[in-house]
Amino acid sequence: MQKRLAVFVAMALSTSLPLSAQVTIDVAKIDCQQFATYKIAHPDRVAIWLNGYFHGKRGDLIVDTQELAGNTDKVQEYCLKNPDVPLMQAVETLFGSGN
């Protein structure tokens, strides 16, 4: 009886767990409109990745969270005015290529 109960509980738990899909994003294909209007993900999340990418290109391992927040706002403002520009190009225009 206990074995049946254990199997039943295990089956009930395994079917009630939410499934989560893995989503990958090609950041090079994101345009400003998608970034600024939350079409891909929350802009803060994408900005964190961009910050790490460009800091990594420069070999800079420091993250200034206040600077990151301000830069995110600048990119959003730029993107709202230039919705067809690729996001990577917008960041390079505002802050340089990171080289």
- Is residue 47 a contact partner of residue 75, using CB atoms and an 8 Å limit? yes
How far apart CA 42 and CA 53 sit, in angstroms, is 17
Q: Considering only residues 38 and 8, tell me which one the structure prediction assigns the higher pLDDT.
A: 38
- Indicate the fold that domain 25-95 takes in CATH: 10k-s Protein, Hypothetical Protein A; Chain A (1.10.890)
Helix axes 43-58, 87-95, angle to 10 degrees: 60
What are the backbone dihedrals phi and psi of residue 23, each rounded to the nearest 5 degrees, phi first? -115, 130
Neighbours of 88 (CB within 10 A): 17
Q: Taking 90 as the threshold, does the pLDDT of residue 49 lie above it? A: yes
Q: Considering only residues 21 and 24, tell me which one the structure prediction assigns the higher pLDDT.
A: 24
- Is residue 94 a contact partner of residue 74, using CB atoms and an 8 Å limit? yes
State pLDDT tens for residues 57-90.
999 999 999 999 999 999 999 999 999 999 999 9
When the pLDDT of each residue in the chain is averaged and rounded to a whole number, the result is: 85
- Is residue 34 a contact partner of residue 40, using CB atoms and an 8 Å limit? yes
Q: Could you state, in order of their start, the residue ranges of all structural domains in the chain?
A: 25-95
Instruction: Compute the Cα dihedral for 46, 49, 50, 51 and give only its sign.
Output: positive
